[in-house]
Amino acid sequence: MGPKSARVYRTIREWVASGKLQPGEKLPSERTLEKDLDIGRTQLRTVLAKLVAEKVLESYARSSYRVPSHEVSIERPDNLEPWQIHGERTVYDNRWVKLTLVDVEPPGVERFEHHVVRLHHVSIAAVLDDQDHVLMLWRYRFVADKWGWELPGGIVDEGEDARATALREVEEETGWRPDSLDHVVTFQPMIGMVDSPHEIYVGKGAQHVGDPTDIEEAGHVAWVPLSDIPGLMARDELMGSGTLVALLHVLASRGEDASTASA
């Protein structure tokens, strides 16, 4: 950018960093910015595009920009009916998996029995170091008959807090004890037929306390550069929806953190 574009770039960033422009607030029109900041239309649009790429601003309509906000703007529809559940019967049940037939009635549709697989509550952790590496396991999964990279995680025991599970599983499977873990999302990997809540935790920093103690679940332990994650994804070497959800969150948040730090 030239001197004038650089000046305008710094000015808008300062508006955001100082709070002159609040989260969710709309920028003045391009015509107003051109006049107030003494800059041409083409130069201004180059500056705005750079700020959007850095996530300092977001484009939400034709030639309109605002400061990003984590607040939800879309409203929930309130005029839809849920399915009616009339009962449930077990077809198969053991300590790992339960198969049931649920008697359901969608709105306007004749009632029928729907298969539902009920699995365990699961907790998964992405632990990062200060060099932008993530703690992972290279493992073999016989169900898919393939090798790949996974994040540590496991089943939440009855009565156990999901965060405690994540801390325990990281240490047992890798030999590293996380300094802390924060919850970022709970999701269902196959919401149409399978009930298995997955809790995702992310933390920074860990202390090496020894060798992995869970031999069955442990694999080759490595600190994988975050810059390698897109390539591993393209090579189909990331296994499990929890691993993908956690790492995509980390990569997306990393971009936000970088733009905030430079503000």
Separation of alpha carbons 99 and 89, rounded Å: 9
Q: Please check whether residue 64 is in contact with residue 84, taking contact to mean a CB–CB distance below 8 angstroms.
A: no
Chain centroid, CA 230 distance in Å: 14
Strand partners, 203: 127
Q: Which residue, among 30, 38, 32, has the nearest Cα to 64 in the 3D structure? A: 30
The type of residue at 134 is V
Q: What is the pLDDT of residues 5-17, one digit of tens each?
A: 999 999 999 999 8
Which positions ≥6 away from 121 have C-beta within 8 Å? 155, 156, 162, 196, 197, 199
Question: In whole angstroms, how far apart are CA 50 and each of 9, 12, 13, 60?
Answer: 9, 11, 11, 15
Q: Please check whether residue 87 is in contact with residue 67, taking contact to mean a CB–CB distance below 8 angstroms.
A: no
Q: Which residue, among 153, 87, 93, has the nearest Cα to 121 in the 3D structure? A: 153
Q: What is the pLDDT of residues 23-67, one digit of tens each?
A: 889 999 999 999 999 999 999 999 999 999 888 998 887 778 999
- Determine the angle formed by the axes of helices 3-18 and 41-53, rounding to 10 degrees: 50
Q: Which residue, among 79, 114, 116, 86, has the nearest Cα to 99 in the 3D structure? A: 116
Q: Please check whether residue 128 is in contact with residue 117, taking contact to mean a CB–CB distance below 8 angstroms.
A: no
Q: What is the pLDDT of residue 254?
A: 76
Widest CA span of the chain, in angstroms? 73
Q: What is the pLDDT of residue 255?
A: 55
- Could you list the pLDDT tens digit for every one of the 263 residues in the chain? 788 999 999 999 999 989 899 888 999 999 999 999 999 999 999 999 999 988 899 888 777 899 988 777 778 898 899 999 999 999 999 999 999 999 999 999 999 999 999 999 999 999 999 999 999 999 999 999 999 999 999 999 999 999 999 999 999 999 999 999 999 999 999 999 999 999 999 999 999 999 998 877 777 999 999 999 999 999 999 999 999 999 999 998 875 554 444 44
Other Cβ atoms less than 10 A from the Cβ of 154: the count is 19
Q: Which residue, among 201, 197, 179, has the nearest Cα to 188 in the 3D structure? A: 197
Q: What is the pLDDT of residue 243?
A: 98
Q: What is the pLDDT of residue 259?
A: 44
